[in-house]
Amino acid sequence: MMNFMQFHAPTKIVQSPGLLASGESEFSTYAGRRAIIISDQVMASLNVTETLARTLAESGVKVGIVYTEVPQDSDLHVVSRVAELGRNCGADMLVAVGGGSVIDTAKAANILLKHGGELKEYQGYQLLTEPLFPLVAIPTTIGTGSEVTPIAVIADHEEMRKLSFVERFITPELALLDPEITYTLPSKMAAATAMDALTHAIESYTCLEHNPMSDMYAVNAIQTILAEVISGTRTDFDPEARAKLQLASTMAGIAFANSMVGGVHSLAHALGGVAKVPHGVANSIVLVAMLRYNLEEIEARLANLARAASLSGSGDDGDASRTMLERLSLIQESLHEMTGLPTRLKEVGVRKEQFPEIVDRAMEDGSVIYNPKELTNDALINILEQIY
Ligand SMILES: [Fe+2]
């Protein structure tokens, strides 16, 4: 029986090398507005924010303030600060240049900039009824997908939790993909974020809410990432492969924004909240173990992916799904050797005493209910033991 489905991909996406320095025509729609630029210290030190401010000015957009203090794991305080600065300078648009943490900060700050109050009041799902200020997102990693999703994840460090905000009106209006901005990404970070994108696509394709339209984006992203992840992330990466990974990350974002994610993200969010494991690293460590746990429910779909990626011929679903899992393990090992991407929890400082708390947090995470096989505390402990 056909269930309810909807598909929403409202972001204009433009990809071109050098876009940051020469993208006046993309910004000219916003001429006359006053922008707050939101970024981090790395982008400031690489003069990326300076280039962006110049391009905005050349397009007729006034730059009210440039905020470059977003940390790796942005929290409620940072969001409040950004909204306050934006309000003080009269900002009526936001431009985020950075990774997931920066873009999510801009999305959440946009809510407060428009409506005021405390961010916690807005925690939940589709509470807003009118558009916010225009947000332009310029991703600097190759994994977040946040440039096209209606989701922001913000840490509440006091409660050791990650809070989710799902609002169609926080989706960026414009995503500028400039492959050249990603060239300075350290290879380990490139690998971790590419694994985040791969996880978005695989969880989108195998979770309970997948639909034919999200599948289309997920499959293309998976084909691309499997083919390009090594040549696009190693130290002497191939720029073509890097650009393909960047676009695949955006496609994976559209995929999961219109289906959901699942157990890998539940655990990754919990590992981030409790043990500060970077998001992409956590996904990479958890991915194969969670897929093996889910296997009885997703064998046919994993087999489809193996065939779509030309990993497997006409073998049965059992063989093809095993081939897919083997390929994922192989990628994980290759990235570990090539870039030092961790493959075990103990490598990233997680302690076994933290397992019960990690499991509790994971079971509270919004993604749990979309996992194709029911998750239990015991099952999650078991998975954590396997990847310790
Ligand atoms: Fe993710």
**Average model confidence (pLDDT) across the chain:** 95
Q: Is the separation of the CB atoms in 123 and 183 below 8 Å? A: no
Output the CA 58–ligand 1 centroid distance in Å.
34
d(C-alpha 382, C-alpha 374), whole Å = 14
> Would the pLDDT of 162 be above 90?
no
pLDDT tens digits, residue range 100-159? 999 999 999 999 999 999 999 998 888 999 999 999 999 999 999 999 999 999 999 888
CA of 22 to the centre of ligand 1 (A): 30
Q: How far is CA 284 from the centre of its chain?
A: 13
- Coil/strand/helix, residue 302: helix
The answer to whether residues 210 and 217 touch, using CB atoms and an 8 Å cutoff, is no
CA of 144 to the centre of ligand 1 (A): 6
Residue 290 CA to ligand 1 centre (angstroms): 15
Q: How many Cβ atoms sit within 10 Å of the Cβ of residue 43?
A: 26
380 or 3: which carries more pLDDT confidence? Answer: 380
Rounded to the nearest angstrom, the gap between the alpha carbon of residue 273 and the centroid of all alpha carbons in its chain is 16
pLDDT at position 176: 98
CA of 89 to the centre of ligand 1 (A): 32
Residue 366: closest CA among 202, 102, 149, 125: 125
pLDDT of residue 273: 87
Contacts of 82 (CB under 8 A, 6+ apart): 36, 38, 67, 70, 105, 106, 109
Rounded distance between C-alpha atoms, residue 383 and residue 285, angstroms: 11
CA of 332 to the centre of ligand 1 (A): 16
**Residue for token pair 């779909």:** 301
Report whether 261 contacts 202 (CB < 8 A). Answer: no
Predicted local distance difference test score (pLDDT) of residue 1: 47
Cβ(143)–Cβ(249) below 8 Å: yes
Residue-wise pLDDT tens digits, 201-247: 999 999 999 999 999 999 999 999 999 999 999 999 999 999 999 99
Q: What is the DSSP string of 7-26?
A: -----EEEE-TTHHHH-HHH
Q: Rounded CA gap, 207 and 184, in Å?
A: 34
Distance (angstroms) between ligand 1 centre and the Cα of 54 equals 31
What pLDDT score does 2 carry?
A: 58
What would the pLDDT profile of 21-54 be if each residue is shown by its tens digit? 998 899 999 999 999 999 999 999 999 999 999 9
User: If you measure from the C-alpha of residue 76 to the centroid of ligand 1, how many angstroms do you get, rounded to a whole number?
Assistant: 19
Amino acid in the structure at residue 222: I
State pLDDT tens for residues 306-362: 999 999 776 899 999 999 999 999 999 999 999 999 999 999 999 999 999 999 999
β-pairing, 34-38 vs 93-98, is parallel
DSSP-assigned beta bridge partners for residue 178? none
CA of 252 to the centre of ligand 1 (A): 10
Ligand 1: distance of its center to the CA of 33 in Å? 32
Q: What is the 3-state secondary structure (H, E, C) of 170-204?
A: HCCCEEEECHHHHHHCCHHHHHHHHHHHHHHHHHH
How many Å apart are CA 367 and CA 106, to the nearest integer? 22
Contact 177, 247 (CB under 8 A): yes
The rounded percent of the chain whose pLDDT value lies above 90 is 90
CA distances from 101 to 109, 191, 232 (A): 12, 17, 22
How many Cβ atoms are within 10 Å of 27's Cβ, its own excluded? 23
Going along the chain, which residue ranges are E strands? 12-15, 34-38, 62-67, 93-98, 124-125, 135-139, 151-156, 161-166, 174-177
How remote is the CA of residue 90 from the centroid of ligand 1, in Å?
32
Top-level class of domain 12-181: alpha beta
Nearest CA to 196 out of 138, 93, 282, 276 is that of 282
CA distance 286 to 217: 22
255-308 pLDDT, tens digit each: 999 999 999 999 999 999 899 999 999 999 999 999 999 999 999 999 999 999
According to CATH, where is 3.40.50.1970 located in the chain?
A: 12-181
- Distances 189 to 142, 185, 243, 335 between C-alpha atoms, Å: 9, 6, 15, 11
Q: Give 133 Cα–ligand 1 centroid separation in angstroms.
A: 25
Q: CATH 1.20.1090.10 region(s) of the chain?
A: 185-386
Write down the pLDDT at residue 294. 98
Distance 197 CA to ligand 1 centre (A): 7
pLDDT tens profile 174-199: 999 999 999 999 999 999 999 999 99
Ligand 1 centre to CA of 279 (Å) is 7
Instruction: Give the list of residues 6+ apart from residue 268 with CB closer than 8 angstroms, or none.
Output: 199, 277, 279, 282, 283, 286
Ion ligand 1: residue ranges with CB closer than 5 A:
196
284 alpha carbon – ligand 1 mean position (Å)? 10
CATH number for the segment(s) 185-386: 1.20.1090.10
Q: Which two tokens stand for residue 226?
A: 């499997």
